[in-house]
Amino acid sequence: GAGVSQSPSNKVTEKGKDVELRCDPISGHTALYWYRQSLGQGLEFLIYFQGNSAPDKSGLPSDRFSAERTGGSVSTLTIQRTQQEDSAVYLCASSIGGRDGYTFGSGTRLTVV
Amino acid sequence: SQQGEEDPQALSIQEGENATMNCSYKTSINNLQWYRQNSGRGLVHLILIRSNEREKHSGRLRVTLDTSKKSSSLLITASRAADTASYFCATVPTGGFKTIFGAGTRLFVKA
């Protein structure tokens, strides 16, 4: 597609449930990032994929968080046993090489009640 | 801690005035980027300046980079109400890929 697509745009879930967030990057972009942004705050790095290399998972806040990228394209971020502190906007971005400007999706606003 | 830290946290100006935002970082970088965010959703890439560049222009935007001070500034000239947004700097470390964002500057331009 023309841009980075994220789904769903909004997700309300009950505490303790698992959620899956999807990111469809721009075709041909080898680098894909996930960030998390709490209300009024900056972006918190979560995970980075670059081509076929092992992902940089150093930003994942706990083992309840995991992400995969299938076929070097679509990525899913999974949060297990969601907690209220997981409520945030989850942003995905992709770029051609990983060091140049990134194109962001519109994000998924996750609310854990 | 965040690699990039913006200053000020918030800025309110009149339409037509210039707005200057600053960013400081801690480690050596490959490049520094500025982004704009409206309504707390997706960010829009504004400009990228590489570590061997000192100044870059794009329309009403002017970015400077001082690697000796590990700082950058974003100047928006002749601001408009539509420039109201949050502005973030992001740094790509030398030899790495993990791009780190600062907490942002919230700019409000009054018509």
Are B45 and A58 within 8 A, CB to CB?
Answer: no
pLDDT of residue B1: 34
Domain boundaries, chain A: 5-112
Superfamily of domain A5-112, CATH level 4? Immunoglobulins (2.60.40.10)
From the list B42, B38, B108, B32, the residue with the least C-alpha distance to B74 is B32
pLDDT confidence of residue A44:
93
Q: What do you get for the CA distance between the two ends of chain A, in Å?
A: 33
Nearest CA-CA partner of A91 in A48, A41, A37: A37
Residues of chain A above pLDDT 90, percent: 81
> Which of the following CATH numbers is that of domain B5-110: 2.60.40.10, 2.30.33.40, 1.10.240.10, 1.20.1440.230?
2.60.40.10
Of the candidates A42, A50, A107, the beta carbon closest to that of B101 is on A42
Yes or no: say if B32 and B91 are a contact pair by the CB < 8 Å rule: yes
Q: In this complex, do B98 and A41 lie within 8 Å of one another by their Cβ atoms? A: no
pLDDT band of A8, cuts 50, 70, 90: very high
Q: Which pLDDT tens digit goes with each residue over A43-68?
A: 999 999 998 889 999 999 999 999 99
Q: Is the pLDDT of residue A1 over 60?
A: no
Q: What is the mean pLDDT of residues A8-33?
A: 96
**What pLDDT, in 10s, does the model give residues B27-71?**
999 999 999 999 767 899 999 999 999 999 999 999 999 999 999
**Cross-chain Cβ contact A56/B41 below 8 Å:** no
Three-state secondary structure of A21-63: EEEECCCCCCEEEEEEECCCCCEEEEEEEECCCCCECCCCCCC
Return d(Cα A62, Cα A55) in angstroms, integer: 16
Q: What is the DSSP letter of B76?
A: E
